[in-house]
Structure 1
Amino acid sequence: MAKEHDHDEHHHHENASKPHVHSEASLKQIVNRLSRIEGHVRGIKTMVTESRPCPEVLMQIAAVRGAIDKVARIILDEHLSECVARAALEGNIDTEIEELKAALDRFLP
């Protein structure tokens, strides 16, 4: 039986100006990665409470930082390929680019 596209297949969230729509598969991938990062951070907290050597803790923090950067890259890639492309088709690319620039100003050091 063919499944029609419905609300269950897409995630909708409101930002300041318009809804974003992302595939369920994409959201699941991102949420799974974030859950693993969350568990890793709890592990680091345990290492600290157990007074594990600082270099070990720092190596684990570096691993979490790398994992967070990977999630950010996935989100940015999807934003460029889906959201910015959609904005171009809908004629509001200037607004989308300004929002992206503002987000990158906060995101990048």
Structure 2
Amino acid sequence: MSFVPIKDGDFTSTIYGLIKDHRYAEAMRVLQYELQRSPNSRAALSLLGYCYYNTQDFIMAAECYDKLTQLYPDHTDYKLHHAQSLYNAFMFPEAIAVMAQ
């Protein structure tokens, strides 16, 4: 499937619609493109991490959440999601280390 640009003003509703319909691959493609344009986009990183997690790509989810914890250290929910992703990737010592920080 080719990438079709999303019209201005429709980005949020389109992404959330794709996620609601479990069309994670399409949502991830759009979010990855958005991250190329804006590498530190909190919304794109968070939603991409969510999509990776739900497709059971826990390593990639952990990478997204790791970056979010670095960019937004005061948001402990990202730290928890990071640890959960590592745990589900069977990276137990790494998950414990994240929670110990």
Shorter-chain TM-score tier = 0.3 to 0.5
Larger Rg: 1
- TM-score, normalising length: structure 2: 0.33
